[in-house]
């Protein structure tokens, strides 16, 4: 899958293990790298159903975004690049048609 980043600074942080460790700690940095590698390895978002991280769609004010679990309550937040996002006949997101995403942020939105 193709991955882009909303902000250049986030991309630079994610491309450097040292920067990730400084921003999120050693354990979380490893998981972020692993989750990004998983996203790159699958051809469509549907492949994430079978990998760790609990990929799930968000709701309410984060409708249209998805998240992967990280340590310490943090989440890797992303969205499909296609606008509008591909949908199934029932209106839900068509995970099989999402082959490009944009990483928006790494955050603990539970606080």
The H-or-E segment that residue 13 falls in is helix 8-14
* Distance set, CA 83 to CA 46, 52, 79, 93, 109 (Å): 18, 27, 10, 12, 24
Average pLDDT, the chain: 95
Per-residue confidence at 57, pLDDT binned at 50, 70, 90? very high
The per-residue pLDDT for range 73-98, each reduced to its tens digit, is 999 999 999 999 999 999 899 999 99
pLDDT number for residue 100: 98
Domain of 28, in residue numbers: 2-107
Instruction: Using the predicted structure, report yes or no on whether residue 111 has a pLDDT greater than 90.
Output: no
Number of folded domains that form the chain: 1
Q: What is the CATH number of the domain that holds 62?
A: 3.30.2310.20
The per-residue pLDDT for range 1-22, each reduced to its tens digit, is 999 999 999 999 999 999 999 9
What pTM value is reported for the model? 0.94
Average of per-residue pLDDT across 45-50: 94
């Amino acid at each position: 899958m193709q991955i882009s980043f909303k902000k250049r600074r986030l991309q630079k942080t994610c491309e450097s293990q040292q920067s990730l460790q400084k921003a999120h700690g050693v354990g979380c940095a490893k998981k972020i790298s692993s989750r990004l590698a998983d996203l790159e390895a699958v051809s469509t978002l549907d492949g994430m159903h079978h990998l760790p991280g609990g990929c799930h769609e968000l709701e309410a004010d984060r409708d249209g975004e998805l998240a992967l679990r990280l340590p310490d309550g943090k989440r890797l937040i992303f969205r499909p690049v296609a606008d509008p996002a591909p949908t199934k006949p029932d209106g839900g997101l068509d995970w099989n048609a999402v082959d490009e995403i944009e990483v928006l942020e790494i955050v603990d939105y539970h606080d």
